[in-house]
A and B are shown apart, each in its own frame.
Chain A
Amino acid sequence: MPFVTRYFIKTSLMFFVAALLCALLLVLRPFIVLPAFVVGLTPVYFHLFMVGWVTQIIIGVAFWMFPKFTKEQPRGSEMLAWSTYILLNTGLLLRAVAEPANAVQMWMGWGWLLALAALLQWLGGFAFVINTWPRIKER
C-alpha cells in the first residue's frame, strides 16, 4: 500500500470518529447544557462524514488500486496526491472550526477563514481529478 494511501485511510478513519462525535454532541443538546457553537455543527457533522471519511477513503484507495498510468509512473503524480491530501484536509479542518464559530461569533476573520476553507477544498478536489482522470482507461 503506498505511503500516501496510508495517510488518506488513517486520516479518513479519524474523521469518521470525529463526525460521529459531532453527531453525539448534537443529540446531547436536550440533556445537558453545551456551548452555543454546537448549534452550528450539523453541516460540520455531515461534511466530516462525506468529505473527511467517505470521499477521503475513496481517494486513498483509488490512488492505490486504479489502473496504472504508465510503467514508469504507475500511480500518476505522487506530488499531486500529497497536494490533494494537504489541501483537502486543511480545508476541511478549517471549515470544521470556522463554520460553527462564524454562526455564533461576530468576527470578520471567521468569514475569511471559511472562504479560504472553500478554496482549499476545491483545489484539493481539482488535484485529485487531474491525477486520476488519465488512469481511467481500458488498460
Chain B
Amino acid sequence: MPRLSIWLIRAALIYLLLGFTVGGLLLWHKGLPLNPALWRLLPAHMEFLLMGWIVHLVMGVAYWILPRFQTKRPLSALVWLSFCLLNGGIWLISISTFVAFAPTIQLVGRIAEVGAIMAFAVHAWPRIKPTSL
C-alpha cells in the first residue's frame, strides 16, 4: 500500500472514531439528556463520518488500486492537495457552530471540499482505463 493511501486510510479510521464518539454522545443524549449544547456537534458528526470516514477511505483505496502507468501513480501531488483541502473543509464546517461568522466559515469549508474532490477527480481521471494501457 503506498504511503499516501496509508495517510488517507488512517485518517479515515481516526474520523470513524471521532464521528462515532460524537454520534454516541448525541444518541445517549437523546435517550438520557446530558446537555442540550451537544446538538452543536451535529455538523461535526456529519462531516467526520461522511467526508472524514467514507470519503477518505474511498480516496485511499482508489489511489492504491486504480490502474497505474507502468508502476507509476501520476499527479500524486494533486492527491496530497486534496487531502489537505478535505481536512481543512471538514474542520471549518465542524467548528462553525462554535464561532462567529458561521455562514462565511461554512462557505469557505465547502469551497475547500469542492476543491478537494476536483483535485482528486483530476488525478483519478487518466487512471480509469484498461489495466494493460
Considering the chains assembled together, what is the distance between the CA atoms of A95 and B53 in angstroms?
21
| Contact residues, A24-82 vs B (CB, 8 A) | 50, 54-55, 58, 67
Please tell me if B68 contacts chain A, counting CB pairs below 8 Å: no
| Contact residues, B1-27 vs A (CB, 8 A) | 1-3, 6, 9-10, 13, 16-17, 20-21, 23-27
A50 and B49 contacting across the interface, CB-CB below 8 Å: yes
The stretch that binds B, out of A4-12, A13-21, A120-128, is A120-128
Assuming the A-B contacts A122-B24, A126-B17, are A102 and B10 also in contact, with contact meaning beta carbons closer than 8 angstroms in the complex? no
A114 and B16 contacting across the interface, CB-CB below 8 Å: no
Selected contact of A118 from candidates B6, B10, B17, B24, CB within 8 Å: B24
Tell me how many residues of A have a C-beta within 8 Å of chain B.
Answer: 30
0 or 1 for each of A117-139: is its CB under 8 Å from B? (1 = yes): 11101100110110011001111
Considering the chains assembled together, what is the distance between the CA atoms of A126 and B13 in angstroms?
9
> Which A residues are CB-close (under 8 A) to B25?
118
Selected contact of B31 from candidates A67, A112, A138, CB within 8 Å: A112
Q: List 10 additional A-B contacts (Cβ < 8 Å) besides A129-B13, A133-B13.
A: A55-B16, A114-B31, A115-B27, A115-B31, A117-B27, A118-B24, A121-B24, A125-B17, A129-B16, A139-B1
A122 and B21 contacting across the interface, CB-CB below 8 Å: yes
A114 and B10 contacting across the interface, CB-CB below 8 Å: no
Chain A facing B: main interface SS? helix
Please tell me if A113 contacts chain B, counting CB pairs below 8 Å: yes
A138 and B6 contacting across the interface, CB-CB below 8 Å: yes
| Interchain Cβ contacts under 8 Å between A and B, 5 examples | A50-B49, A111-B30, A114-B31, A128-B16, A133-B10
B27 and A114 contacting across the interface, CB-CB below 8 Å: yes
Please tell me if B90 contacts chain A, counting CB pairs below 8 Å: no
B54 and A115 contacting across the interface, CB-CB below 8 Å: no
> Which A residues are CB-close (under 8 A) to B3?
138
Please tell me if A110 contacts chain B, counting CB pairs below 8 Å: yes
Selected contact of B13 from candidates A54, A117, A136, CB within 8 Å: A136
| Contact residues, B55-75 vs A (CB, 8 A) | 57
A137 and B6 contacting across the interface, CB-CB below 8 Å: yes
> Which B residues are CB-close (under 8 A) to A111?
30-32
Considering the chains assembled together, what is the distance between the CA atoms of A54 and B57 in angstroms?
12
